[in-house]
Structures are given as C-alpha cells and as structure tokens.
Structure 1
C-alpha cells in the first residue's frame, strides 16, 4: 500500500523561488488544511504520475489503494477522486472493481483507462474487447468538448494502452470522443460531475493531457490551485514533530539532494535533536566527503558525525556479484553502522537513559515503486533504503520525501535554503559505486571506477551539461575484458560504460544525445589516464526497458 504522505510541487519546469500560478502565494510556515484529490491505484506503475500531474496543477493529492472502501475514501473528505489505469480486464475473475456507491457520494470523479472502464461498468455501461488493441500514439476524434476536453481540437493525438474498450456509455452520459479502437473514448455527466477518458492524460505523450487534467480539477471539481512546495515544508514539519516528539534522531547524510533535503526538513522541525551521520563506506565518488562538509554542513550548521566504514563494507561485499545481494548487504551494513553511531551519539551527549529512536532517510517514491512498494507493482530492484533494510531494524523511520519525485524534492530544497550545488547535483545511488561495478566489488576496482567517473563528471561540467543531463552513471564491466592496443603494445583491459540519461522523475528516461566532441574527450582521457581501461562505450537504452543504473 502506498503511504498517505502529503506532497506538493511547482508547475512543470519551475526551478526557482516564487514560480507559482497567478494569485497563489507562498506560505511555508503556515500549514493549511487541503482537502485531497485522491488517486485510487489499480496497480499501475504510473498511478503516482497522475498524482504528480495533479501537484503540477498546484492541487494537493494523495494515493490510496483500490482496496480502500467507499467509507475509507469519504473519511478523507476528498475534493475529487481520480481512478487510475491498471493491467486487469474489468470482466476478468478477481479484477478490481469500483463500488457504484462511490458515484452517489457527490464527489467529482475522473476515470482514466482501466479506471474509466471500471467506472463505465459500475454505472451500467458496456465494456468488452474490440479485437483491436491500441498502444502508443493514437488518433482521437473529439465530437463534443464538454468539460474535460474544453479547448481541445477535433483531432488530436493521445497515448493509449488498452485491449478492452467502452462500447456503450452509461445512461445519462454524453460521449465526447472516439478512436478507431474505442467506440467510447471519453464521456461525462456534467450534472453529476462524473468524467472519464480511455487514454492516459498523465503521460507527456498525450500533448494536451495536462490541460485535460486541469479542466477536470478546475472546472469539473471547482478546485483552486493553491498547493506548493511551501505547503510540503509546513505539513512535513508538523508531521515530523508529531512523530518524533522530544526523542533523538539521526540522519544518514550522503551529500546528495535526497538525504540533504530530508535532513534540512527534519532540522527545521526538531533542531538539535538531529545528528547527521555521514558513512564513508568506500563506495563514494571522488570528493564526496569533502563536499558534505564544505557545502551542506557549512550552510546549515547541522551536527555531523563522520564514520569511516570502508573496511567493513568491503569485507561484507567480498565474493558477491549478484546485484540484489549487493544491495541488501549495503542496506544491512548501513543500518548496523547507524546503530553503532546512535550509541556513540548518546555516549557523547553524556545524558544517561536517552536513546536514538528515529532514523531519517531520503527515500523517494521511485525507490518505493521499483522496490515493489506500490499496490500491485513489481519488484524491479530492491533499493538499499527500502527492500534492502534488515528485518531487525531497531529504528523507526522518518521519511519526509517518500511520496515525492526528484524535481519536487529540488523545489522543496530551494525553499529550505539548501545550497544549489547540492540541490542541482546529479542523482547518486545510496549503494554508490557498489552497483556500478558489474561483478565483485574490490578496492582496486573501486579505484579504477572512481578515476573514470571523476573524468566524466569533470568534462560534463566543463561542457555545461550538468543541468541538461539528469544523471550519467559511469559503469565498470569488471568481469569483462577486451583486447586493445596502447603504446604499440597489446592490452587486455576493462570497458567503461557511459550512461547519460534525461528524465523528469526517474520513472521513465531516455538516453541523452551528448555532443560527439564531449564524448570523444571523455573517452580519450579515460583510456589515457586510467591504465586498466582500454575501451569506452555508450549506453543508448531508454527506461523502460533498461533501468537507469545497471544494477
């Protein structure tokens, strides 16, 4: 079940302070009660993307599982409800269904894809297979614009993904659009404030999708766009204080944007009750530890404890090559180190009888989804801070960013005053270089990868590509060798893989079309300056099918 954590964000593309819709003011320390738009998750990996688009419209949203009853939903006093897509057929045995009582509650509802079909079935419409599946870009014919399609042209392209279709709309509903494979591609009953579309307006491949969602929110549901990152700060500060009370808290600080923003939020909430712990596990890139002290600690004044655990992690990882095993080992050892650090924090305080009860983590929603944390979502890989946590965890977790995407975290970080050098830093995984070495992790292999990574990062910065590229993992194929020639002699070295990607939220990504001269410079420097490497290759795979990190 996806946890009910408040979240907020700017409109798409907003990067700095004050970029709010006209008439919306920033009130970071004045929490307000926002009635939520509930996104009912029918098992789609992109249910959170719907909530993200709602937040881009500056409207507060939460995700709830499809197993929630109508009473559960109404108990949250929703301002509107959106039914997500999903992999099932509405007429299949055991398929999720929608209780018709939901549509008698007077709450505005929008059904999307599977949610649209479940809505039609519950209201007496007809859903069946058409014999023609629609996947990807699809031509839509708009016959009546209604509320959701207001301002839409008669012909447009939308993103479909379905094998079933609504053949007849429920009684009292107007059909707004059709496609070749969808006799009823959109309908509405404006009087009852019930709306539905067969396509996915939440994905960027539906160019007018955000407009359709905003039409539903603003016109169909009558909502005001007044949710922003300031609300996230105020709401989370309030929740953290309620959760922590006067207990001691430690935070695993890596120097990346996620842990830094999480630490800044918790510090805002509980002040000196927080001690940040920076674990040097030996899997860091060049200069990581120095950046933490120089940028984050210097700007925030947070209490920092540095733990040298390099030997411990390398010993635990010795002999292991399976990616899931490595992730779980790293997650386990992180927790064990934090437990030791917690005892030291208490001892250093001189306060007898006190203990550290809480551990802050910079967990984001993509971590949760890929670790199988969404309702019906597959376990793609266990993130060290989600699926990799040990069963005997002695801390209660504080995860104020768990329902946010990376760009939303950056917006919150800017509001909190986190240094821009950290806010705009390329994402770096918690397991570090340990999951960028394909094969066993050793000190020698880490040195090779660290040197190659430093060159790539230096050249990307020199070329001014740090903001254009979302992330550029540098991967060492440690168990692969190839023949080369250097200095008129034969070499048998390792290949390095460059994985530059562009993304908004890490849920989907495409490989970045980098200038050839930058690639050439990186390749030349790595093969000249890192003796163990004689080949540099470029990964041109999108996500899906490939994840951003190789492991």
Structure 2
C-alpha cells in the first residue's frame, strides 16, 4: 500500500506495527490543521503540497476520487482540487463525491480549484465548461484582475504573469459565482463565491513561473481560510522520535539500510537517537557505487557521524544478477530485492548473537520516491502514472518480513535536510547531492555489466564532480552526474581514428526533486570538463550535456 492510499503518514509496515502506525498518523492530524489536496493527475500536485508546507501549514494528498468517508477521516480545514490532464466532458473523468460541496459548506471548509479543479467546480455546481479560446492557453502570460476580488485583495499588481496550461475553460458560471480575473484573450481565469468560500483558478499558482503565486496561496490559507501557520520541522522531529519509540518498544532491534545519501543517513541518525545500540546500520557495497564511494562513506559514518555500521560486500552477486538486464524497471526491482536479501541474511546472523531477529527495517524513503513509484495495483489512484519504481518502494518484494520505519515517507528533500540540521548532522554532509540507491545501475543505459562500462562511468563522474567543486558550483546545483550512453561515435585522438564511448552529463537545480531546471554552465566550464574527460578516459571520445527540464524528463535517465 502506498503512502497516498493509507492513513499511515510516516510509517508503513506489516501487522505487528499497524496499530501504532495508525495512532501516529491520527495524532499528527489532531495536532495540525490539515489542508487536503485531491490529486487529479497534474504533474504539479506534489508542488501544491510543498508550497502549502512552505507557508507553514500541514498538507497531505489523496486521490481525486477519494470517498467522502475518507475525506472526512482527516477532518480537513481546507480542500484544494488539483489540475490534471482530463476533461470534465469525458465519461469516467474523476470527480469529487456528489455530497462533497454540501459537506464543505455545512462545515465551513473553503475550497480552491486549480485548473481542472476549477472546471470541476463549475460543472458540478451547475455552470458550463466549454472549449478554450484558440484551442487553449499555455505557458506564461498576463491576466487582468477585476476590482472587488476577495482572492486578490492583498495584491497591488493587477496584471501579474501566471502559468497557464488548459484547453477547456468556464463559459458560464454557477449561481453565486463572479469572475475576478480574465486572460488577455478574455478567458475566465479566476472565480469566487465569497458566501460559500469556493474559489477557482484556471492557472497554476504553485509553480515558480506565476508571479505572487505562493502569496496568493498564503492569502487564501491564512487570511481567507483563517488557518494557523504551525507546521515546523522541529515539531515533526519530536513527533517522529515519539512514534519510533512507541513502534519499536524497549527491547526490539532494527536494521537500517544506510546508502551514504542524505536521506538514509538522517533517518539513521534520528532512529539511533531513540534506539542507540539497538540500531544496526548496514552499508551494502553492491558494485554500483561512485569512485571510491565505499571508502569515503565508511569514513564519514565512523569518524564524523559516529554511527554503528557494518559494510557488506555484495558486488559479485549483484552484478551477476544484473548481467544481461537492460530494462530499467527490471534493474530497479532486482536491486531492491537483492538489498532485502542482504538485510535478511544480516538479521539471521543477528539472531545468533541476540537470540531473536531484528524485525524492523529503517529506510530513508521520501515523498517523491513514493509518488513516482505509485500507483501500485489496488491503490485506487486511477489518474496518476507510475514514473519509475524506486528500489526502496516499488522494488521491494511482497514477502518483506520486516516492518518498515520510514520517518520521511511524506517529507520532501529540503524538509529532511532541515531535520538533519536539527539533529546536528554536519552541513557538508547535508548539502551532499542526492545519489540513487541503485547507483550506477540507473546511470548506465543498457546492460550494466557489459565491457568496461562501470569503470568508464565512475572515472567520468569523478572528473565531472571534481570540476564542479573546483569551479565553486557544487552548492548551486541540486544534483549532478554522468550517464553512460549505449552508443559509440567516431572521433580523432592522437591523429588516429577512434570508435569510442559517448557519455552524457546532467546537472539540475531544484527545491524538492519534483520539478527541476537544467543548470546553465558557462562555455568555459563545459569546454574544460569535456577536454579533461576525453584526455583522461581514453575510451571516451564524445561528451554531451543534457538540457532537459523535469518535466518532461525525470532527473535520472532510468
């Protein structure tokens, strides 16, 4: 079951822990006013949740066709209907329950519809949605705010630029609504019914391209809805410490899957604070690590973070399992399954020492991992697509045999970094670029084990990252890495014809990993790093740079 299909917010496991997990989830809802975001499949839905949390308000997400019973279960103080790729005219398109608006009005719950969400409001309340002007409006463009608007009463700029992405639009409003903003082409882009506190935006206030978009959301949540900005990482940390203590109990032990990345390390530090010597960290060298990564990570763990870590050499087994595998999803599932086999074997050895097996597994799973890996069969999420199965989510076997402790399953990367700072994790480590659990396995397109691919990519990646640090750019970039492309090109090296490998370089800027822009290196940097790679790695004769944002691409290539 995914985090988005369960009332379990921060932990997910099997029967032994389920009672405590539900207690933890409901206590979180009780302690914070909840903004519920109903997801209709927009690529920006998680960004809506993120923006709300930046404002200081707790948010969570349910599928757009969630039942009324499920919506009521979290006692939302505000409901936001997201955008999505569907048309309200298509049979079977997602919608809220028939009694949704009556429930919200009866309980004084403000509603905001964004893009598809606004069209849903218009159609379900008796208005008309038709085809958009000139086939729709897309991209950044100005809107014209009308006087007397409650939604825009904070705003001096009456012609802000916003991010449009719609084909259909409202052509006739339901009774009680008025138009409060139009596009230059005359399309209705903002509506409100002040009496019922129902609002609609035909554009996306959550994206950075919309001027004062976050301010609009803040005004809606704090001024119109009257919520309190009381969501903080300090309180999340205290809640997690309490939940872990309740879940694991005073005598049980836990294994932590420690990859060397920020997420798993902060998770290990948090759980170690509760369990002490009853936490057993396992660092798996699966043969897909970066250049000298194993040595560097173990030194960091033991000398700087003082965590109890056992290193397990699983290179030969992992590479044998991956031999001949080219499909990215199969790679991720094989890698995820092999990790679990290592942890099972470790637990069996611990049983000999302790007299009982550790039954808990700690993972640094993040919200974006869960979102991209969903929806699994039976999740009820019909309107979102699986982007890729992360090894620690969609790659886990059904017979896991562990109860999972995933304190960050509903948090974004920057929130985890904030918790790491509260726990005293060194800043140099907090700022480390993300590195996927499958490692080079998802940065080598095609068969990982073929020829010298691993060796070549590790050398190229090391040269690239060192150049970024040398130019003082490391902290400006969210993530940077090299990719091995399964092609060869003709070149000239040493006055001789070569037919050698091609590698790609990727560097992106992001705040949460859900959306990202490519980093604009200077020609001088690109010239320098390309020359170094082709001179120092003689089997490479061509270097390309990826200038694609997310979306349409993902950050990793596989």
| TM more than 0.5 | yes
Counterpart in 1 of 2:503?
496
Find the aligned partners of 1:32 and 1:299 in 2 and give their Cα distance.
Answer: 38
Residues 1:270 and 1:179: Cα distance change in structure 2 (over 3 Å): same
Find the aligned partners of 2:201 and 2:86 in 1 and give their Cα distance.
Answer: 17
On the 8 A contact 2:33/2:227 being kept in 1, the answer is: no
Residues 1:270 and 1:496: Cα distance change in structure 2 (over 3 Å): same
Query: Which one of 33, 44, 48 corresponds to residue 31 of structure 2?
Result: 33
Counterpart in 2 of 1:68?
66
Q: CA deviation at 1:298?
A: 3.1
Residues 1:173 and 1:435: Cα distance change in structure 2 (over 3 Å): same
On the 8 A contact 2:33/2:228 being kept in 1, the answer is: no
Find the aligned partners of 2:532 and 2:8 in 1 and give their Cα distance.
Answer: 46
Residues 1:72 and 1:370: Cα distance change in structure 2 (over 3 Å): closer
Query: Which one of 394, 397, 402 corresponds to residue 404 of structure 2?
Result: 397
**Which stretch shifts more, 267-276 or 254-263?**
267-276
Find the aligned partners of 1:92 and 1:497 in 2 and give their Cα distance.
Answer: 41
Counterpart in 1 of 2:478?
470
Q: CA deviation at 1:524?
A: 1.8
On the 8 A contact 2:52/2:59 being kept in 1, the answer is: yes
Q: CA deviation at 1:5?
A: 6.1
Counterpart in 1 of 2:281?
276
On the 8 A contact 2:163/2:207 being kept in 1, the answer is: yes
Query: Which one of 291, 297, 314 corresponds to residue 292 of structure 1?
Result: 297
Once the two structures are superposed, residues 263-296 of structure 1 have per-residue CA deviations (whole angstroms, 9 ceiling, x without a partner) of: 2222233333211100001111123223323323
Find the aligned partners of 2:274 and 2:190 in 1 and give their Cα distance.
Answer: 46
Q: CA deviation at 1:72?
A: 2.8
Counterpart in 2 of 1:250?
255
Aligned residue pairs, count: 525
Find the aligned partners of 1:53 and 1:5 in 2 and give their Cα distance.
Answer: 22
Counterpart in 2 of 1:151?
154
Query: Which one of 131, 137, 140 corresponds to residue 137 of structure 1?
Result: 140
Q: CA deviation at 1:213?
A: 0.2
On the 8 A contact 2:483/2:504 being kept in 1, the answer is: yes
Secondary structure at 1:119 match in 2: helix
- Note if 1:43 corresponds to 2:50: no
Q: CA RMSD of the aligned region, Å?
A: 2.2
Find the aligned partners of 1:130 and 1:43 in 2 and give their Cα distance.
Answer: 20
- Note if 1:450 corresponds to 2:465: no
**Which stretch shifts more, 336-345 or 243-252?**
243-252
Find the aligned partners of 1:186 and 1:219 in 2 and give their Cα distance.
Answer: 18
Once the two structures are superposed, residues 179-233 of structure 1 have per-residue CA deviations (whole angstroms, 9 ceiling, x without a partner) of: 2566432222333322221111111111221011001111111122221211221
Once the two structures are superposed, residues 477-511 of structure 1 have per-residue CA deviations (whole angstroms, 9 ceiling, x without a partner) of: 2x322222223333222112111222222222222
Residues 1:5 and 1:292: Cα distance change in structure 2 (over 3 Å): farther
Q: CA deviation at 1:32?
A: 8.2
Aligned 1:186-225 pairs, distance under 5 A: 186-225=190-229
Find the aligned partners of 1:55 and 1:215 in 2 and give their Cα distance.
Answer: 14
Counterpart in 2 of 1:16?
none
Counterpart in 2 of 1:116?
118
Residues 1:323 and 1:174: Cα distance change in structure 2 (over 3 Å): same
Counterpart in 2 of 1:107?
109
Find the aligned partners of 1:195 and 1:144 in 2 and give their Cα distance.
Answer: 16
Structure 1 residue runs of 5 or longer lacking an equivalent are 8-29
On the 8 A contact 1:295/1:419 being kept in 2, the answer is: no
Q: CA deviation at 1:308?
A: 0.6
Aligned 1:149-548 pairs, distance under 5 A: 149-152=152-155, 153-180=157-184, 183-246=187-250, 247-347=252-352, 350-352=353-355, 354-373=356-375, 375=381, 376-442=383-449, 444-477=452-485, 479-548=486-555
Residues 1:373 and 1:406: Cα distance change in structure 2 (over 3 Å): farther
**Which stretch shifts more, 405-414 or 263-272?**
263-272
Find the aligned partners of 1:109 and 1:550 in 2 and give their Cα distance.
Answer: 38
Find the aligned partners of 1:97 and 1:547 in 2 and give their Cα distance.
Answer: 28
Residues 1:337 and 1:248: Cα distance change in structure 2 (over 3 Å): same
Find the aligned partners of 1:312 and 1:94 in 2 and give their Cα distance.
Answer: 47
Residues 1:364 and 1:145: Cα distance change in structure 2 (over 3 Å): farther
Find the aligned partners of 1:543 and 1:78 in 2 and give their Cα distance.
Answer: 31
Residues 1:71 and 1:476: Cα distance change in structure 2 (over 3 Å): closer
More helix by share: 2
Find the aligned partners of 2:222 and 2:318 in 1 and give their Cα distance.
Answer: 52
Query: Which one of 36, 56, 59 corresponds to residue 58 of structure 1?
Result: 56
